[in-house]
Chains A and B, each alone.
Chain A
Amino acid sequence: MEKNIWEWSELYASNELSSDELIYLNNRLQNDEAFKIAFDEQVTFIANMQAMFKQDAFAEQLKALSSKKQKSANTFSKFIPLSINQWKVAAMAASVALLTSLLTLFFVKQEKPSKQYSMLRREIETIKKSQRQLINTLQSNDQSDLQPGSYTGTAFAVSKEGYFITNYHVTEGADSLYLQTQSGKYHKAIVVAYDKASDLALLKVLKANKQTVDVPYAFAKSKVNIGSSIFTLGYPDDEIVYKEGYISGKNGFEGDTMQYRLEMMAQPGQSGSPILDAKGSIIGIIAGKDTELDGTTYAISSAALMRLIASLPSEVHVNLPKINKLRRLSREEQIKKIQACVGVLQVYKSKS
């Protein structure tokens, strides 16, 4: 146990000492007067500082609320708790509950995306071939009461435990969701949490084998600068498609500070696609495009994603990857690695 006195103080103040360490510490405090005096002072000091940083963070939340309170009055990030072994059974029920709890907000939603803003989920009724495949898959899974998917979006992995992120508007009102990955396999997915205001939904993909996902990218903590070049991978078609562009505006649709404005073509089906910078850090998620300005696309910043994840209850562990493994790779190699983490999300709704 070769901790220095500051380390002892800090671990004690943060309640992070094991019981063995506490016994050792107590002993030392009783027998070493000088150590005890310094230790007490330091613990008080650190606790005070922790409290200050915590209060500052709280004050910032308050500030943000007061300046934008007229914008959205009743949109909180919501969490739908489910224990893991119930997930399969409860997935349907959960998505129905989600639907009903949102019905009241449905009409408000209609007017919010104005004429200029169109969401990029893809209606797949037009694509007969893939539709037929889907019906087949469903019948073999004995879920015949479900109607064929109404549309698709894109989702990508955010942690190795199988959490994926997509847009809230893609999952809205869904009875069930299936994620198809590069390998062609379908996996059932459920919405674990969502934030309607920022248009994000966090999914858990249910896999029979507990195989982990190798997430090669990390997430940008702050906003990147205007002019930065960016690229994306998504599913406007049955196949994954690569596109590139640049950040053309620091804020998104109607000055939304949680969004970016991008100069990049986007098509239906790309909702929920990751936006990466040249080094391969995720900086945002595609949400919609401007219907009047061709080539203007809006993306939700990664900060909004972090906020959603930070608001999860402590029993849900979403460990965002900390290391960016794409930093030194060529674009082709980057894409090869990212592809495995991006999937097409099939959304099913019941007839009514």
Chain B
Amino acid sequence: MNTEFEIIAALADGKEWATKLVYEANASIVINALRTKGAAQEDAEDIYQEAMLILYNKAQDEEFRFTCKIGTYLYAISNNLWLKRFDRNKRSPILQTDSEQLMMYAESTLDADMEIFAEREQQFLKLRNAMQQLGDPCAKLLKSFYRKEMTMQEIAHAFGYTNAENAKSQKYKCLARLKKIYTDL
């Protein structure tokens, strides 16, 4: 059995087994809770996905990993997402039965987490834009390397460079170009 700390650390590191474990352990609880609050099934699923992403982001902070209760956090952040972003009626304040679950994570903390996540997304969006303008083969090369899909040796082979050293210097040229595009955006 893995401890909660090991699981959240593996999730933060992008280990698929951890993502799956956390996702499946909490999906029905969170989605059903959102449904009882009036969320449509589809919205509830979207909220849960976003909650997982926020959890992933938050888990990059090691301190959080030591103290977090994964299920409680997912429940709390999903609830907050629903209240702040989706619930158009701005209905009921938080229900009585929720209070115990939600006490561990203050509303202000959850708001801050959502905001930090949104800011990061904004940055990533800009970066994805820059990648698009960069075009292939540079974009493909960077993706292959940073997604750890290929080693420099394989990249050299796949992109037709004579050796890994050449591919590497090409990679740095691509990086420099990407950064220029990014700062000019």
Contact = CB atoms under 8 A, between A and B. Distances in A.
Which applies to chain A's interface (DSSP): helix, strand, loop or mixed? helix
Contacts, number: 82
Interface in A56-88: 56-59, 61-63, 65-66, 69, 73-74, 76-77
Given A62-B53, A69-B24, A53 B147 contact: yes
Contacts of B63: none
Contacts of B69: none
Contacts of B52: 62
B20 interface: yes
- The listed residue with most A CB atoms (<10 A of its CB), out of B52, B60, B142, is B52
B118 to A, nearest CB: 13
A179 B160 CA distance: 40
Which applies to chain B's interface (DSSP): helix, strand, loop or mixed? helix
Contact of A45 (B53, B151, B154, B182): B182
A49 B153 CA distance: 22
Which of the four size classes fits the interface of chain A? 35 or more
Contact of B23 (A51, A53, A62, A77): A62
B16 A310 contact: yes
A57 B18 CA distance: 13
B140 interface: no
Contact of B17 (A42, A57, A74, A76): A76
A77 B20 CA distance: 10
Contact of B154 (A41, A50, A322): A322
Contacts of B24: 65, 69, 73-74
A6 interface: yes
A41 to B, nearest CB: 8
B56 A49 contact: no
A59 B23 CA distance: 12
The 10 A-B pairs with the shortest beta carbon distances in the complex, nearest first, are: A6-B172, A53-B146, A61-B19, A52-B124, A65-B23, A311-B17, A53-B147, A45-B179, A76-B17, A58-B56
Given A307-B16, A310-B16, 19 more contacts: A4-B172, A6-B172, A10-B172, A41-B179, A46-B175, A49-B127, A52-B128, A55-B53, A55-B56, A55-B57, A57-B147, A61-B16, A61-B19, A62-B19, A62-B52, A65-B23, A221-B149, A311-B17, A322-B153
Interface of B: 14-17, 19-21, 23-24, 27, 45, 49, 52-53, 56-57, 60, 120, 123-124, 127-128, 142-143, 146-147, 149-151, 153-154, 168-169, 172, 175-176, 178-179, 182
